[in-house]
Structure 1
Amino acid sequence: MRNFIYAILAIISLIALWFFMAPSAPQTSVVAFVATPDLTTNNEPKAAIETADYHWQIQAGKIIGPQQVEVPQNETLLLSFISDVPDEVHLHGYEQAVQINANEPATLRVRLEHSGRFELETHRLHRVISVLEVEPR
């Protein structure tokens, strides 16, 4: 009986510790992003997209956004990021990077002059957040 009471007290203690010590979510609001190219106001795609805009959100180590982006060569991309921790995002092959401050949006503008497959990687998390497929024209 004594062991049963100790077990119950241990479980109650662990639950109480979890409630008091569990990390809380940041107090900033989270904006949902849609990972699609911009469209005209009448919802018809532009004949030639001059600039495509894609968004990623990094929160608690989880990456939300497109895992792969396919675009034609010679387009301009706006790659937008928001993270709950400071980081740097690097586009391999184009050797461009953007610094991200915690909970502040950051944008990388890239003119896609080279075709191929390029990784978009975070340096702090050391994770590939997306693959950029640039199709030759």
Structure 2
Amino acid sequence: MRRPHPYRLMIGTAAAVLLLGACGQPVTTHHRPGTDHAPATAAAGTPHVHGDHQTRDVPATEAPSVRLEVRPDSESGWNLHLVTDRFTFTPDSVGGAALPGTGHAHLYLDGKKIARLYAPWHHLAAEAVPAGTHTLTVRLSADDHTLWSSAGKPVESSATIEGPQRAAKGTATAATPAIPDTPTTQGTAAGQPTRINVRISGRTVTPPPGRVEIEEGAKVRLEVTADRTDTVHVHGFDLERPLTPGIPAIIEFTADRSGLFEVETHESGLVLTQLVVR
């Protein structure tokens, strides 16, 4: 019987070891350009854990930002608005690789996560918030559920809300949360339009965004003055005007339909006020 050459035997053995080693490893998939399978870590290379999530640290010049705006809903509860910069919501990619500036948000009530947010707007039911003062926090997350962070701190924003008082058994229900300060209004006498004056400086809206109660069929005169070029849009009535720095933009119309309508800017994405037409 002819014996195999020693060198051939060594080569065959090495190939078998390599094949066995490869079979023992988990199957990997290709990932999108610019991502990897490395664990999320802080800048120093040590994982930081916030709650049940690790952070994914990026330089401050590349980090996204978020501002949480909370407004009472006309029916009940609150409407939350996440104003973001360098960030896009990607609900179709949840569970995938972490791509810079994309993902979703996590919502916390007094430090306890209560929801995931896949869009800039979210309605928070009154029943979800106990009576008393509470802190709402949103944190931006990558698709792989790591939290975006900069210098080891999560990208987040917080706001304080007052939970509604629960009515005792057999008594009338409590009122919804108080409505915040509303923009300056004038001329509510019969036949005179409701005047709403708003000023924009950078990302600051004066007075702070609130709600204006308007009777259905009444006339409205909206005057907006900004320090930069933009466009103001009255949703629901499909009215818009260009904003020129220092020159008031005036929109006059008849509130001939009931509902809740927002007034916002296009480029900067600022909510200026909400019109409640009854």
With the length of structure 2 as denominator, give the TM-score of the two structures: 0.33
Structure 2 equivalent of residue 85 of structure 1:
228
2:264 is the counterpart of 1:115:
no
2:250 is the counterpart of 1:104:
no
- The sequence identity of aligned pairs, in percent, is 26
2:271 is the counterpart of 1:128:
yes
Segments of 4+ moved more than 3 angstroms: none
d(CA) in 2 for partners of 1:132, 1:49: 19
Please tell me the residue identity of whatever aligns with 1:37. Q
d(CA) in 2 for partners of 1:80, 1:71: 16
Deviations 1:56-77 (A, max 9, x none): 0000210013521111011110
* Preserved CA contact (<8 Å) 2:203 2:270: no
d(CA) in 2 for partners of 1:60, 1:113: 32
Greater radius of gyration (CA): 2
2:203 is the counterpart of 1:61:
yes
d(CA) in 2 for partners of 1:131, 1:36: 13
Return the offset for 1:50.
3.0
Return the offset for 1:49.
4.5
d(CA) in 1 for partners of 2:275, 2:241: 16
The unaligned stretches of length 5 or more in structure 1 are 1-33, 40-45
The unaligned stretches of length 5 or more in structure 2 are 1-182
User: Partner of 2:245: helix, strand, or coil?
Assistant: coil
Please tell me the residue identity of whatever aligns with 1:69. V
d(CA) in 2 for partners of 1:125, 1:91: 15
Please tell me the residue identity of whatever aligns with 1:128. V
User: Partner of 1:36: helix, strand, or coil?
Assistant: strand
Structure 1 equivalent of residue 12 of structure 2:
none
Structure 1 equivalent of residue 218 of structure 2:
75
* Preserved CA contact (<8 Å) 2:213 2:277: yes
d(CA) in 2 for partners of 1:89, 1:49: 25
d(CA) in 1 for partners of 2:269, 2:211: 17
Structure 1 equivalent of residue 184 of structure 2:
35
Please tell me the residue identity of whatever aligns with 2:261. F
Please tell me the residue identity of whatever aligns with 2:218. E
With the length of structure 1 as denominator, give the TM-score of the two structures: 0.64
Deviations 1:13-32 (A, max 9, x none): xxxxxxxxxxxxxxxxxxxx
Return the offset for 1:128.
1.5
d(CA) in 2 for partners of 1:122, 1:90: 6
d(CA) in 2 for partners of 1:124, 1:134: 26
Report the aligned-residue RMSD: 1.6
How many residue pairs match? The answer is: 95
